Amino acid sequence: MGSKRLSVVVTRRLPEPVETRMKELFDVRLRDEDTPMSRDALVAAMAEADVLVPCVTDRIDAAMLAQAGERLKLIANYGAGVDHIDIASARQRGVLVSNTPGVVTEDTADMTIALILGVTRRIPEGLALMQSGDWGGWAPTAMMGGRIAGRRLGILGMGRIGQAVARRAAAFGMQVHYHNRRRLRPEIEEGLEATYWESLDQMVARIDVLSINCPHTPSTFHLMNARRLKLMKPSAVIVNTSRGEVIDENALTRMLRANEIAGAGLDVFERGHEINPRLKDLPNVVLLPHMGSATVEGRTEMGEKVIINIKTFADGHRPPDLVVPSAV
């Protein structure tokens, strides 16, 4: 790219050390407000920048890319998931896309276990009782939840995060089962003490806790649909720290309200921050505001990966975390 400093536009506020380093390296335009850019503002940013740094709240489709002009050469996404970007259209226009894989694996796995415990041990209900001032003291039958040791955990998606969840679950004494597009190598499967199920239907019918850890793709949209949710045991719990679109949220809500599923812990939702209001008043549901990757360490490391991708590109090389469009 030569010696000229790249023009970089960042769509959201990032951790202060990340923004400081970007100012040192690039001709960067940062945001004062921590709100999503409008569609028009995103198009304008792509027209004036060499590099755009978006995040999961920025939906970049083919029509927007068509208006981007010729200057934009790299979309350096702040985050691992890229289903909000039309990668194939970007590549057709000569725009590379990079992401930040592997950074928040441990953080997201921690949150998965936190949600499992939160739902099964009724932690939010206990917190609400204490905050209400209505607690009358300990009683033998009060606030009884369930023990997770010995329960069957089914992991849907056994990539980096799924495997990190499996390691934690084993430490809690859970039996690990999984369904994945491809079976793990025998040595990995043995190390995790995990049982593979080729049939997702058969797995979900037998497990006590289901953890969603697969990405959102056309093939995983509503993978947990109404039919498949009905296969789960009424005593089962479902937890999602991946992508909300993997679950049919309306179907899940109906079943939770009918006590056909015992509980749910959700950090992501099908329509972004628009949550089904009928989920909010259920005592057996734990709802979090997409906090899975929200650690100081994780968010800073994400920014560092973004910087490495941009700097490598500026030096005339392939970004290390280049995203390749999926085959049709």
- What average pLDDT does this structure show over 178-206? 97
Distance separating alpha carbons of residues 248 and 221, to the nearest angstrom: 8
Cα→Cα distances 151→23, 42, 118, Å: 50, 47, 15
Distance separating alpha carbons of residues 297 and 114, to the nearest angstrom: 18
| pLDDT, tens digit, 9 for 90 and up, residues 92-140 | 999 999 999 999 999 999 999 999 999 999 999 999 999 999 999 999 9
Tell me what pLDDT residue 213 has. 97
Q: What pairs with residue 176 in β-bridges?
A: 153, 194
C-beta contacts of 19-28 below 8 A and 24+ residues apart: 19/303, 21/303, 21/304, 21/307, 22/303, 22/307, 25/307, 25/310, 25/311, 26/51, 26/310, 26/314
Distance separating alpha carbons of residues 247 and 238, to the nearest angstrom: 10
Q: Given pLDDT bands bounded at 50, 70 and 90, which one contains residue 327?
A: very low
For the question of whether the overall pTM of this predicted structure is more than 0.85, the answer is yes
- What average pLDDT does this structure show over 157-175? 97
Q: How many residues does the chain have?
A: 328
| pLDDT, tens digit, 9 for 90 and up, residues 12-67 | 999 999 999 999 999 999 999 889 999 999 999 999 999 999 999 999 999 999 99
Tokens 């850019």 locate to: 37
Residue 225: pLDDT above 60?
yes
Average pLDDT of the residues of the chain: 95
Count of alpha carbons within 13 Å of 326, Cβ hemisphere only?
10
- What average pLDDT does this structure show over 248-252? 97
- What average pLDDT does this structure show over 149-171? 98
Kindly list the structural domains of the chain, giving each domain's residue range(s) and its CATH number in brackets, ordered by start.
7-103+295-314 (3.40.50.720), 105-287 (3.40.50.720)
* Residue 287 structure tokens: 């709802």
